Structure 1
């Protein structure tokens, strides 16, 4: 019951923030980024000192969302350069994951600001569909594991099912009014793959750190990194897609 309630609460808060957009959504993303960097710092042994890099990351994200992009870029990189005293493990991993969190968060703000609620909702739906398809197909069909040493529960059947469902939920978004053709299905599958890579990358980090969950903040779910790892991968890849193809189109709403 606690898992269902906490999941519903997270979904409600997230949907409300996305709908509002603007500064409320920027604050929401900054808070998420701060908490994820806090979890990351604790995973590397910072303990109580994890608060300081988290506050710095959250502040940097909030400022980055309110200034021109060229000036925002250094703020997205800077949090990865600073480590709290007492951190152990691979410094490169900490830096890469912190910068990934910052770039992904900025990407979400950019998507909502420039392309509207509909395409932000599409991205979230696509990521959820990938996770749901992977979970149920993996349990029902089973079969060979895709990467047993890193994520022993993930199967090829679940992976492919995630791609298929991500494409399926994107079909209603193929409309002449929005200026989007069937190429959207290829984009959806690519983003589904990217979301799965985000999930696998976080699993590898947790395995290296010897922990099951990034934290115990969310009853029944673990930490924010456990819930948003797939979105991080998809958001970063969407920023790349925007440089390659003419997508997303102008806002519908």
Structure 2
């Protein structure tokens, strides 16, 4: 692969990423209703894309609206009702498509639960913890992209994600650990976040690989074309879904140090 082929999409990716980062930081800073609405819209968009990919094109817009509405409703009820309610919505969506129902149901449930966890982290745990997750995922993604394109080397899992390399994967873990050390010092909890950050980095990579596997199975390159240079919303936030889902479980079971 020539240098121009390796970096040909970098400018578009950087511009789109910059816009998303600015919008995302503003939403995270504002918190409250603006942040929650943004997450509900993103959740609906991701379920819409998933529905289109897995054969429910006619039902996809309706499913996206239902998913966004379910996320909004989940905020108004206790968590012991919200979580099974979101899973029920994913199962309802799976019932609406002709094939790949289990695949749709599991990924849609993971998407909705991850979005709800994102809201809980920002509102209940605090902005710093949400920023920790976001920074781990972004650092993992950027380090993996740069190392993979620069160093190349053996592929991590070519049958599912042919562009990912071991060099990029390991660079992502190192970047996640560094972010964990920085946030541990900022939050006054020392190096206890380093290991959790590496695990979070792996979870983010797992989300990315899972979505890549779905796309290869259905024969599409991108989940949609909503974001220039990045494809669809799922293409950009697949890693965030995996990390947020795990971070939400950590928070739910009291495994995040310093949160009481």
TM-score strictly above 0.5: yes
Name the residue aligned to 1:233.
242
Match of 2:211 among 202, 208, 213: 202
State the TM-score, normalized to the length of structure 2.
Answer: 0.90
Task: Decide whether the 8 Å contact of 1:130 with 1:163 is kept in 2.
Answer: yes
What does 1:62-73 correspond to in 2, within 5 Å?
62-73=72-83
Alpha-carbon distance between aligned partners in 1 of 2:177 and 2:13, rounded to the nearest angstrom: 28
Unaligned stretches of 5+ residues in structure 1: none
What does 1:107-146 correspond to in 2, within 5 Å?
107-146=117-156
- Relative distance call for 1:133 and 1:6 in structure 2 (3 A) is closer
What does 1:93-104 correspond to in 2, within 5 Å?
93-104=103-114
Match of 2:57 among 47, 53, 56: 47
TM-fit CA distance, 1:88 = 4.4
Name the residue aligned to 1:242.
251
Match of 1:8 among 14, 18, 23: 18
Alpha-carbon distance between aligned partners in 2 of 1:133 and 1:6, rounded to the nearest angstrom: 18
Bigger mean CA deviation after superposition, 75-84 or 202-211: 75-84
1:219 is the counterpart of 2:225: no
Alignment: residue pair count: 250
Q: Deviations over 1:128-183 (max 9, x none)?
A: 100111111112222211111000111111111100011112222223x7341212
State the TM-score, normalized to the length of structure 1.
Answer: 0.92
TM-fit CA distance, 1:86 = 7.4
Alpha-carbon distance between aligned partners in 2 of 1:26 and 1:50, rounded to the nearest angstrom: 22
TM-fit CA distance, 1:244 = 5.5
